[in-house]
Structure 1
Amino acid sequence: MIRSWPSVIVLCVLGLSGCASVRSTAPVARYETGAEQSQVLVMLRVAPPHLRAADGYVGNYAATPDETARKHVARQLAHEYGLQLVSGWPMPALGLDCFVMRAAPGLSTQQITQTLSQDSRVESVEPMQLFHVLGKGDPLYRLQPTATQWHLAELHATTTGRNVTIAELDSGVDTSNPDLTGQVTQTRNFVDDGVYRAEMHGTEVAGIIVAREGNGVGIAGVAPDARLLALRACWQSSPDNAAATCSSFTLAKALQYALDSRAKIFNLSLAGPHDRLLERLLDIALSRDITVVGAVDEAATDGGFPASYPGVLAVADERAQSLVISDALRAPGEDIPTTQPGARWNFVTGSSFSAAEVSGLVALVRQLSPDITPAQLRDSLNAKTALGLVAMRPAMIDACAAVARVSGSCTCNCATANASISVPRR
């Protein structure tokens, strides 16, 4: 890409001294890329009900007699079917323990899945699947602050997302970036490649959601006072590329933690194939009125999972040519300035970042109306529904109207907002 001088100048203004140092010193992930294709997830009943995730939930739970018995069963299964037991993790939200097993050369995961599903000791089994984040590289475009379109300064006079917990399931977040210092409540690593590390996509998404406001540098997050859980379920394969990969196992571990942490919003700026284990965990989240925000994958015929899963708030960026998810919402997704590892900022594009914006906006709404129902929340975000119009195509979200609808008063863009004021109640 040819960089125009105005763009470079703006980038340097945003990045301050970071323009002189463009690489993170975080170690490169050593996760076994490709190994997941020979692995299956084997679920065994039943995790003891007293087990729940806490601050120490970064590995397996401490051994109990019941857990030891299930590990013994897992070892037996692996031995009987010619598999290698790789790892395991409790899923108390489902009453299960999940074990990762690797097939021997010459055995397909489809064959193993079909065979194990007939064993009475196995609750369920599925192949390991891979997911990918949906950012589109590291492009530099003209500066078009999202804050201008959504009137963030005016909205923040009413709501900032205070006391609302958001779980970001992504690659690692650099909590030392000046815009993210003190903004991340917890960091947890669910990828078996060493310690938690700072990575590009997770840091970019985090900045859009909770970057510090009024600190004299960088940007302002959509919900700067929200509590962010930075759950590393994806790994970046190259230090120079934001592309990251996640597995159904790493995502399931992170979802279990998010459920036990009582987060009210799950941000999933990623996509992949439908996965039964993840669907079951999302069902638990949705049954608890947790807002699950998913990024639409334009390259997928159904919009990608989890965005296409019923109950998930599907978000596409404003440039999407066509949408296969009929009730998806549009949010700004082009030329979004955000944080990067180190004292750096840059411009990003893609539905990953549209989803991050919506997660922040949901936090603003939930601060004002903690008991808002999923249907009321979706209606407040859909400008056409709020105005009593028939939504012929996915609408661009009107943040001012959404906040006015739940607060009962207009804060910004009042010509539109006043027409949609209606305070949601249970």
Structure 2
Amino acid sequence: MKRAFLLLAATAALSACATAPPKAPSADPGRAALVGAASMDSQRDIVLAVANPIDPPAMHAGSSLLGYAPSKFYGAGQRAAATLEALKRSYGMREVTGWPIKALELYCVVLKPPPGMSREALLNALAGDNRVQLAQPLHDYSVYTSGPPAPQDNDPYTTLQRGFIETDAALAHRFSEGDGVRVAIVDTGVDAAHPDLQGRIHDMHNMVDGNAATFNRDGHGTEVAGVIAADGDNHRGIVGMAPKATLSIYKACWYPAAAQAGARCNTFTLAKALAAIIDTDARIVNLSLGGPADPLLDKLLVHILEDGRIVVAAMPPDGSVDGFPVDAPGVIAVRVSDVAAALPGVVSAPGNDILTTQPGGGYDFTSGSSMAAPHVSGIAALLLSLSPRLDAHAIHQLLLRSSKVSDGMLQVNAASAVEALRGKQQATR
């Protein structure tokens, strides 16, 4: 079965019409782009932040939906630079890389403890230093997938898309396809050359190593992107939950050299991605990944949520809600709908045997909460396209109230969510 899919997909890829390519992945300015995240040691390195105050940006014509007015890039101000140098001298730490977080008025660095000093001892010492705004371990994170195992009825594999069918997405597309909604995907990179993602990707950024090469081997992000926004009505492959939405890709995860190893991320790469999203008008953030609680990442999530954005996160395989990002209030946590009973407020969505896009123009099945979360992000895009002022709480409640039983399981339903929103809109007119 898998071989047939790949052969069919290869044929489709060869016959694909040429379209305007998305913008090339961009290398961030500053020292951070020069250091590969894969070389960092999550068992020993720390993340430290010092105050880096900036003047408030002037508002001007062209501000985004969320009121953001882009400003010039800034790095470490004189005060931050002096503080960091003094701290490094005081404690004998060695800097790996540094980057500014404008939204929090902080400058962050990844540091190595001095030889002979444990990370715990260094963090304890820094906790009592009033020059330090934040000091914490560099944490590791991973993606949640187990790997490969209607209006769009001209897309040949639509009938094999379990999630698309079970959520009645084709019915929802009569009223909304996600037009005008930007979804930020924080994940591995995405194969932008995939025929079913042509025209759907607005911009791409590499937070891992600054390499501007294409992401044509990054499987996990390509899978997530296909579930959310694979092109519809193009006579090839599949169709996404919100096929008219556009995607912003933030590569914060990478594949270790070990064979069959899953993608991993860390505090450094995720913080850079979340900080960059704050400077955009993306309304939805998909996080099909997770790991331990993290003070810096939590600060950034709070800022993103307070901006009125919707953050959708995959539940860990063990069902825990104690780590990043599912432990942040306001985040929409998503589990696979055919596992044990969910906790109150957790959204259920299809996540097993999900057919989606693969690098190299192919298609295959994959499973995990990493695939459940983008189904919810796609439905959120359908709703925002109809009602752009919806906030995370309203969408969360709408998803829960409109969930339906499908094949014996209660899970989100795109058609009933759209119908409920349209009914509410008509009742208020």
Normalised TM-score (structure 1) = 0.83
Q: Name the counterpart of 1:416.
A: none
Kindly indicate whether residue 41 of structure 2 is the aligned counterpart of residue 35 of structure 1.
yes
Query: Which amino acid letter does the alignment assign opposite residue 77 of structure 1?
Result: L
| Conservation of the 8 A alpha-carbon contact between 1:337 and 1:345 | yes
Query: Shift of residue 363 of structure 1?
Result: 0.5
Query: Which amino acid letter does the alignment assign opposite residue 327 of structure 1?
Result: G
| Conservation of the 8 A alpha-carbon contact between 1:49 and 1:95 | no
Query: Shift of residue 55 of structure 1?
Result: 9.1
Query: Which amino acid letter does the alignment assign opposite residue 145 of structure 1?
Result: R
| Conservation of the 8 A alpha-carbon contact between 1:297 and 1:303 | no
Q: Name the counterpart of 2:392.
A: 374
Q: Name the counterpart of 2:85.
A: 75
Query: Shift of residue 372 of structure 1?
Result: 1.6
Cα distance in structure 2, aligned partners of 1:424 and 1:247: 46
Decide which of 273, 278, 284 is 1:259's aligned counterpart. Answer: 278
SS in 2 for 1:280: helix
| Residues 110 and 423 (structure 1), Cα distance of their counterparts in 2 relative to 1, 3 Å cut | farther
| Conservation of the 8 A alpha-carbon contact between 1:51 and 1:92 | no
Query: Shift of residue 127 of structure 1?
Result: 1.0
Query: Shift of residue 87 of structure 1?
Result: 1.2
**1:81-230, aligned counterparts within 5 Å?**
81-139=91-149, 143-192=160-209, 194-198=211-215, 199-230=218-249
| Conservation of the 8 A alpha-carbon contact between 1:138 and 1:242 | no
Query: Shift of residue 73 of structure 1?
Result: 1.9
Query: Which amino acid letter does the alignment assign opposite residue 166 of structure 1?
Result: V
| Residues 204 and 43 (structure 1), Cα distance of their counterparts in 2 relative to 1, 3 Å cut | same
Structure 1, gaps ≥5 residues long:
1-5, 20-28, 388-393, 409-420
Query: Which amino acid letter does the alignment assign opposite residue 13 of structure 1?
Result: L
SS in 2 for 1:185: strand
Cα distance in structure 2, aligned partners of 1:239 and 1:204: 21
- 1:131-160 superposed Cα distances (whole Å, 9 cap, x missing partner): 101111221xx9453222223333222111
SS in 2 for 1:38: coil
- 1:295-320 superposed Cα distances (whole Å, 9 cap, x missing partner): 00122543642123221100001222
Normalised TM-score (structure 2) = 0.82
Q: Name the counterpart of 1:12.
A: 7
**1:280-319, aligned counterparts within 5 Å?**
280-299=299-318, 301-302=320-321, 304-319=323-338
**Which piece of structure 1 moves more, 312-321 or 34-43?**
34-43
Cα distance in structure 1, aligned partners of 2:291 and 2:57: 30
| Conservation of the 8 A alpha-carbon contact between 1:307 and 1:314 | yes
- 1:326-354 superposed Cα distances (whole Å, 9 cap, x missing partner): 21111011111111111111111110011
- 1:187-245 superposed Cα distances (whole Å, 9 cap, x missing partner): 01111263354111011111111111111111111111112110011112259647211
Query: Shift of residue 92 of structure 1?
Result: 1.4
Kindly indicate whether residue 350 of structure 2 is the aligned counterpart of residue 332 of structure 1.
yes
Cα distance in structure 1, aligned partners of 2:285 and 2:427: 21
- 1:354-383 superposed Cα distances (whole Å, 9 cap, x missing partner): 101111110000111111233321121114
- 1:387-415 superposed Cα distances (whole Å, 9 cap, x missing partner): 9xxxxxx941122111111122xxxxxxx
**Which piece of structure 1 moves more, 290-299 or 152-161?**
152-161
Cα distance in structure 1, aligned partners of 2:257 and 2:198: 24
| Residues 99 and 202 (structure 1), Cα distance of their counterparts in 2 relative to 1, 3 Å cut | same
Cα distance in structure 1, aligned partners of 2:116 and 2:387: 55
Cα distance in structure 1, aligned partners of 2:258 and 2:425: 47
| Residues 31 and 306 (structure 1), Cα distance of their counterparts in 2 relative to 1, 3 Å cut | closer
| Conservation of the 8 A alpha-carbon contact between 2:202 and 2:248 | yes
Query: Which amino acid letter does the alignment assign opposite residue 40 of structure 1?
Result: I
**Which piece of structure 1 moves more, 244-253 or 68-77?**
68-77
Number of residue pairs the alignment of both structures matches: 386
Q: Name the counterpart of 1:415.
A: none
SS in 2 for 1:253: helix
SS in 1 for 2:77: helix
Cα distance in structure 1, aligned partners of 2:308 and 2:106: 22
What RMSD in Å do the two structures reach over aligned CA positions? 3.0
**1:239-254, aligned counterparts within 5 Å?**
241=260, 243-254=262-273
Structure 2, gaps ≥5 residues long:
15-34, 59-67, 150-158
| Residues 37 and 300 (structure 1), Cα distance of their counterparts in 2 relative to 1, 3 Å cut | farther
Cα distance in structure 1, aligned partners of 2:416 and 2:253: 34
Cα distance in structure 2, aligned partners of 1:241 and 1:406: 43
Which has the bigger relative contact order, CA under 8 A and spacing at least 6? 2
Decide which of 415, 419, 423 is 1:404's aligned counterpart. Answer: 419
| Residues 209 and 168 (structure 1), Cα distance of their counterparts in 2 relative to 1, 3 Å cut | same
Identity %: 33
| Conservation of the 8 A alpha-carbon contact between 1:376 and 1:424 | no
| Residues 269 and 102 (structure 1), Cα distance of their counterparts in 2 relative to 1, 3 Å cut | same
| Conservation of the 8 A alpha-carbon contact between 1:273 and 1:305 | yes
Cα distance in structure 2, aligned partners of 1:357 and 1:242: 25
SS in 2 for 1:35: coil
| Residues 378 and 173 (structure 1), Cα distance of their counterparts in 2 relative to 1, 3 Å cut | same
| Residues 219 and 424 (structure 1), Cα distance of their counterparts in 2 relative to 1, 3 Å cut | farther
| Conservation of the 8 A alpha-carbon contact between 1:47 and 1:97 | no
Decide which of 337, 362, 368 is 1:344's aligned counterpart. Answer: 362
| Conservation of the 8 A alpha-carbon contact between 1:137 and 1:242 | no
Q: Name the counterpart of 2:376.
A: 358
Query: Shift of residue 322 of structure 1?
Result: 4.3
Cα distance in structure 1, aligned partners of 2:10 and 2:168: 23
| Conservation of the 8 A alpha-carbon contact between 1:264 and 1:290 | yes
